[in-house]
Amino acid sequence: MVEEHTTTIVKRYLGELAEISGDMSNDAVIRALLSSSVGRLHILCRSLLYRSYPRLTRPPLNLQSEEILSNVVERMMKAMKVVRPETVRQFFALANKHMRWELNDLARKCDNEVRDLELRESAVVKQPDSVPSQMSPNTVRILEAIEGLPEDEREAFSLVRVHGMTQADAAAVLGVAPKTVQRRLHRSLLLLGEKLRDLQPALFPET
């Protein structure tokens, strides 16, 4: 499988990176590591963008997943000079964190630009049909509830429900058995259900 091939290569480069002492250049190894995992990183970027930040794909940003990928790779190059993940799980967790940071930064930029535009336009004419760009209170609550999950449950939920991975693929990334992912996903849904019980149950259907 492609996922198994990617996991094996990422493990190898992480091993090489761990053997490099702090005063030696590791740029080449980091570039090779990111290059070997670029396919999986692109899938994660695209999935996170369209599932959690679809408004960024519309005007004024018209964001494409390739643009996120480029910025995330640049972020990872800088981050991995300081932080050296030891496992495939830690590597993709670091990448996922920088994807969220990148998209959150872009979302704030988008909101600021739209607010500035609305202020300028309001001096001329009121736009009654305009759609607010900011996330709804329920969306904010859901994202905060996901962020508040225990680490294991949050990773399983993010990979399967946010990024759209199969439980088998998520298990390969996390280095655990598919049954373990299934248990963590089930527990994450229970925890989210407790926090968001007033929302529609269909938001978090059982698997």
122-137 pLDDT per residue, tens = 444 444 444 444 556 7
Q: Which long-range contacts (CB under 8 A, 24 or more apart) does 65-73 make?
A: 66/42, 68/99, 68/102, 68/103, 68/106, 69/38, 69/41, 69/42, 69/45, 71/102, 72/41, 72/45, 72/98, 72/99, 72/102, 73/34, 73/38, 73/41
Yes or no: domain 136-207 corresponds to CATH 3.40.1160.10: no
**pLDDT tens digits for range 46-64:** 888 888 888 888 877 788 9
Residues 103 and 61: beta-carbon distance below 8 Å = no
Residue 95 pLDDT > 70: yes
Ranges in the chain annotated CATH 1.10.10.10: 136-207
Q: What is the mean pLDDT of residues 152-159?
A: 88
Is the model's pLDDT at 19 over the cut of 60? yes
Q: Chain-centre distance of CA 115, in angstroms?
A: 26
pTM: 0.63
pLDDT of residue 21: 66
- Per-position DSSP letters for 185-196, written without gaps between them: HHHHHHHHHHHT
